[in-house]
Amino acid sequence: MALAATSLPSYVLDYAPLVWLHSEDPYRPSGFAQQVEHTSPQVDWKVVEGAPSKLTLDNLDKLNDLGNTSVYLTSEEGIDADPTPDWFYGAEITEEGKTDDVASSIIVNDHGDGTVDAFYFYFYAYNQGNTVVGMEFGNHMGDWEHNMIRFSNGEPQAIWYSQHANGQAFKYKATEKKGKRPIAYSGKGTHALYSIAGNHDHAIPHLNLPFGFVVDTTDQGTLWDPILSTYAYSYNAADQSFTPYDDSYPVNWLNFNGQWGDDALPGGPELFGQKKYAGGPNGPKFKKLSRTKVCPDDPCVELPFRVWSVINSTSATP
C-alpha cells in the first residue's frame, strides 16, 4: 500500500543526510525556482515558440509539448558569461545550515513490502568541471545530485551517493554520521557526493581512490542541512506520478522532460571527447526512482566500510 500523501514518514527526516560543502567552492546550492526565472526555454539555441510568457515551477511541464527532451533551460547571460552572473553562485547559507531558497527536494518511493526509498535531491545553478592537464572540462548549467537511503520497516539499511554518471553505495552503519544523520561530502565545483573528505579519483566507475587522473576534492567547509528548506513528495511508480506532502509545494516541475541548463556549446577545445562546456542535466524523474537495488545500475555493491580507511590514514573508520 502506498504512503498517504499527507504523512511524510518521520524517519525520512530523522535520517536525512547532511552535506559538507567544500570550503573553496564558490558555487553553492541554488533555488531551482530561481533557475527557471533566469533562463529561457530553447531548442537548438532558438527560443521555444508558444512557451508560457513567464515560466514557473507550476507550468514548466507545459514545455513537454513544445520540444519535450530537446528543451534546454538556457541561461539569459550564457554559460561563458564574463563576469560571472551573481545567480550562478547560488543561495546564501545561514549559520544553522539553511539556504535562503529551496534548493533541495525529497522524493519517497514506498515499494509496499516494508521497503521505502527516500531520495534527497540537491540543486546547484552551476557545475564547474574537473581540471585535467591544465584544461577545465565538463562545466554546465544546472546540477542535480542526490543521496538515496533505503529503509526497511523504518530502519535505514543503505545509502547511495551520486557521483557524475555513477556513484557508490554503503551500508548505513558504515557511513560517517552526526547523530543518526549520515554525512555526504560535496565535491568542489562538481558537487559529486562522497562518504569522506579528501581527494577522489573517479576515472573508474564505482571506484574512488585518493589519487589519479580525474580528481574531485572534498572537505569540511560549510555544513548544509538540506531539509531546512525543501519540498517533499511521494512517488507512485505505477504511473510515475508525484504527490506533494504539503499542498503548498509546486509539483508540475517534476514532470518536466527537458534539461536544466544550456545546451553544449558547439566547437571549442576537447579532452578525450569531453568539452569544456557540456549540456545541462535532466531532472529527478530520470534518476531511476524505482530501483530494485540501492544502486541505479549494476554491479551494485553496498560497501560495509569506507574504503579509504585502508588507504588514507586521515579518514575516520566507521
Confidence at residue 136, expressed as pLDDT on a 0 to 100 scale: 77
Q: What is the pTM for the complete model shown?
A: 0.93
Buried b (16+ CB within 10 A) or exposed e, 141-169: bbbbbbbbbbbeeeebebbbbbbbebbbb
d(CA 273, CA 270): 6
* pLDDT surpasses 80 at 119: yes
Q: Is residue 202 scored above 70 in pLDDT?
A: no
Instruction: Give 239: exposed, middle or buried? Use CB within 10 Å, 0-12, 13-18, 19+.
Output: exposed
Distance CA 96, CA 63 (A): 37
pLDDT, tens digit, for every residue of 240-296? Answer: 999 999 999 999 999 999 999 999 988 666 666 677 899 999 999 999 999 999 999
User: Could you give the percent of the chain with pLDDT greater than 70?
Assistant: 88
SS3 content of the chain, % helix, strand, coil (to 5): 15, 35, 50
pLDDT confidence of residue 5? 53
